[in-house]
Structure 1
Amino acid sequence: MTYQWDSKETIKLLGDLTSIPSPSGYTMEIMESIRKMMDSWNVEHITTNKGGVIATIKGENDERHRLLTAHVDTLGAMVKEIKPSGRLKLSLVGGFTFNAIEGENCLIHTASGKVVSGTIVLHQTTVHVYKDAGTAARTADSMEVRIDEKVFSADAVRELGIEVGDFISFDPRFTATDSGYIKSRHLDDKASTALLLQLVKYFSGSSEKLPYTTHFYISNNEEIGFGGNSNIPLQTEEYIAVDMGAIGDGQESDEYTVSICAKDSSGPYHYGLTRHLVDLAKANAIAHKVDIYPYYGSDASAAIRAGYDVKHALFGPGIEASHSYERTHTDSLKASAALLYAYVMSPLVS
């Protein structure tokens, strides 16, 4: 028995993951769903104090370990202020711009557990009233949440249970097309998480053994910079962040291959481990691109900054329009899944 990637299972799992609101700092529900998956597969796992889940599958060599991570936390916002009009000001969670969420439906998650829907709009959206509707800067002062309730004062909003500090999640609008494209918010990094979870499920029930004990770290604070920089087992020699490839002008990455990152804003990734990934892709005829991401950081680079003595690398599916309404293709997911399997079955880099 060898690993066979299942596109339908991936798409179903990815849709399920994107449907669970999980902005950084508000990931309790999705982490519980991850734990339930691990329990159903009888996979040994722990929950860190920060809320991440680390699953471990023992390999033939239990002295030398490797670790792979993907993150399920997403971009989002919090209630910054309740305006006298009954609308809300936002404080952004994660690195993105206001124009990326203009017009997006959202949910306000109150402390009581009540969820209230709304839409993120520019204050002066109505073109028939505001001359600067098209030219006004989209900022924390001009953008607001229009609540889907009859509320016209701050007191009325508070009667709904909404307070400053409540989390706001964005409608993912998950769509899988017949042509193989997947469009959704939060493909960064739930696409990679779905691939990693599929691999865990396979090895949990397969007679095929991993060559080394391998940890699968589902982190929940990556978008704010410190998701996978702790609780790394001391035996870990290689640390792989499975995360999106950045697409745009001057980039090699695309929506149809696996993207291997040589360098991002944190600096170069480990040369030997990166070349090992490239060699594996070539040897297994896996469609791939090597790239540099200019404005990017990963949980692997966070682990290096935290002082862990590991070889680190980064690869994953190419994601168009990162931190906005994102898109990828099943070709990229397939290539990423193939490289994941080839890597976990390969020798450690000397």
Structure 2
Amino acid sequence: MSKKCNPELDAAYMMAQLQSLLAIPSPSGFCMRIMGYMEEEAEKLGYSLEQTPKGTGIITIPGQDDSQTIGISAHVDTLGAMVRSIKGNGMLRFTPIGGYAMATVEGEYCMIHTRDGHEYEGTVLTTHPSVHVYSDARDMKREEANMEIRIDEMVSSKEDTEKLGISVGDFISWDPRTRMLDNGWIKSRHLDDKACVASVLGLMEWLKRENKTPAHTLKIIISTYEEVGHGSSYLPADITELLAVDMGALGDDLSGSEQNVSICAKDSSGPYDYGMTTKLIELAKREELPYAVDIYPYYGSDASAALRGGSNIRAALLGPGVHASHGMERTHKDAVVNTAALLLAYVMTPIH
């Protein structure tokens, strides 16, 4: 591992891709549009994306050695919600998609996507939203039963809302509120995991632009159900190693930062492969990339899903550090680019 890659990764390309990805609504199970975007972008780069019946995307890049196949997974699905019921006053009760605290979506703008193709704006509120009216407005528990969505249409009854074509089971997406600042900070919902997808696209762009071939055949897995726990539960049988690319958690007794590449040694599913994790650490040192090794006690990944699904693989996890995960998230451009650089070093280094 003595040779440094020194890649000239295209940071501007990754930032443009991230902005485009964040603008596409894609709560788990509602990823048709964003997968169409991924297919088009793969084709622009000279690759092809095939979809499984489940909706997972697979991009295959031939390697110098095809005796082993490495998988890299990232997910395009995000947190969101679904219409649970239409209330008598025309507002919507919703059920969450993914694991987030209700307080993180209070006051959020959202979009209701009907099954006949219409979209309506709304706002998430508590059922007692005004301190001028309700004595418990500040103190009431932020839980599903106490939350509702106010629709920005002339509705005051269940029948009014039904006439819009809104019904139980319609998907709801959160406004990402993306800001990409000149000083490199990126704040938005859904950096988990679209920041990582941007890093993976940056890797693909470099391989094509530089006409480079990975050390081993590479299969890039774009999953669409990670936030609900079964994103990459199916993997092609020829994959022997899976490197999940997902956001690095930051906080209490964790050493990562929003500029670092985070390498996860263990999460709620248990320890990741010793050899793969060690290799990532050695490559980060070789490439002089800022990194941190951490433990995530309340976290699972596509690699976790693949292992629980019975895949006979080695697995590891890395990604850019993201603050306030499953809330109003923030990372830095450097972390996204450095993640792509570590991915590149990994796929260009033969397995021994």
TM-score range, shorter chain: over 0.9
> Residue 141 of structure 2 aligns with which residue?
137
Matches within 5 A, 1:81-230: 81-230=85-234
Q: Does 1:241 align with 2:240?
A: no
Q: Does 1:258 align with 2:261?
A: yes
> Residue 296 of structure 1 aligns with which residue?
299
- Normalising by structure 2, we get a TM-score of 0.97
Q: Using the TM superposition, give the Cα deviation of residue 44 of structure 1 relative to its aligned residue in structure 2, in angstroms.
A: 3.2
> Residue 288 of structure 2 aligns with which residue?
285
> Residue 320 of structure 2 aligns with which residue?
317
Q: Is the 8 A contact 1:63 1:235 kept in 2?
A: no
What SS does structure 1 have at the residue aligned with 2:145?
coil
Q: Using the TM superposition, give the Cα deviation of residue 205 of structure 1 relative to its aligned residue in structure 2, in angstroms.
A: 4.1
Q: Is the 8 A contact 1:86 1:154 kept in 2?
A: yes
Q: Is the 8 A contact 1:57 1:204 kept in 2?
A: no
Which of 3, 9, 23 is residue 19 of structure 1 equivalent to?
23
Deviations 1:37-56 (A, max 9, x none): 12222313310111111000
Give the AA of the match of 2:125. Answer: V
Give the AA of the match of 1:135. Answer: D
Which of 340, 345, 352 is residue 342 of structure 1 equivalent to?
345
Q: Does 1:54 align with 2:58?
A: yes
Q: In the aligned structure 2, how far is the partner of 1:272 from the partner of 1:182?
A: 32
Q: In the aligned structure 2, how far is the partner of 1:144 from the partner of 1:166?
A: 14
What SS does structure 2 have at the residue aligned with 1:210?
coil
- Ranges of 4+ aligned residues in structure 1 off by more than 4 Å: none
Q: Does 1:63 align with 2:73?
A: no
Q: Using the TM superposition, give the Cα deviation of residue 337 of structure 1 relative to its aligned residue in structure 2, in angstroms.
A: 1.6
Q: In the aligned structure 2, how far is the partner of 1:11 from the partner of 1:210?
A: 24
Structure 2: gaps of 5 or more residues: none
Q: In the aligned structure 2, how far is the partner of 1:177 from the partner of 1:44?
A: 33
Deviations 1:276-333 (A, max 9, x none): 1001111111110000001000001111111111110000000000001100011211
Structure 1: gaps of 5 or more residues: none
- Normalising by structure 1, we get a TM-score of 0.97
Give the AA of the match of 1:131. Answer: S
Worse overlay, 203-212 or 134-143: 203-212
Q: Using the TM superposition, give the Cα deviation of residue 184 of structure 1 relative to its aligned residue in structure 2, in angstroms.
A: 0.3
CA RMSD of aligned residues (A): 1.2
Percent identity at matched positions?
47
Which of 20, 38, 41 is residue 37 of structure 1 equivalent to?
41
Q: Using the TM superposition, give the Cα deviation of residue 256 of structure 1 relative to its aligned residue in structure 2, in angstroms.
A: 1.0
Q: Using the TM superposition, give the Cα deviation of residue 258 of structure 1 relative to its aligned residue in structure 2, in angstroms.
A: 0.2
Q: Is the 8 A contact 1:95 1:223 kept in 2?
A: yes
Q: In the aligned structure 2, how far is the partner of 1:125 from the partner of 1:82?
A: 18
Q: In the aligned structure 2, how far is the partner of 1:76 from the partner of 1:179?
A: 29
What SS does structure 2 have at the residue aligned with 1:218?
strand
Aligned length: 348
> Residue 273 of structure 1 aligns with which residue?
276
Q: Using the TM superposition, give the Cα deviation of residue 118 of structure 1 relative to its aligned residue in structure 2, in angstroms.
A: 0.3
Worse overlay, 38-47 or 307-316: 38-47
Q: In the aligned structure 2, how far is the partner of 1:64 from the partner of 1:343?
A: 14
Deviations 1:70-110 (A, max 9, x none): 00000000000100001000100001111010000000000
Change (3 A) 1:174 1:244: same
Give the AA of the match of 1:304. Answer: L
Q: Is the 8 A contact 1:255 1:332 kept in 2?
A: yes
Deviations 1:162-186 (A, max 9, x none): 0000000000001011221100000
Q: Using the TM superposition, give the Cα deviation of residue 140 of structure 1 relative to its aligned residue in structure 2, in angstroms.
A: 1.4
Q: In the aligned structure 1, how far is the partner of 2:168 from the partner of 2:276?
A: 45
What SS does structure 2 have at the residue aligned with 1:203?
helix
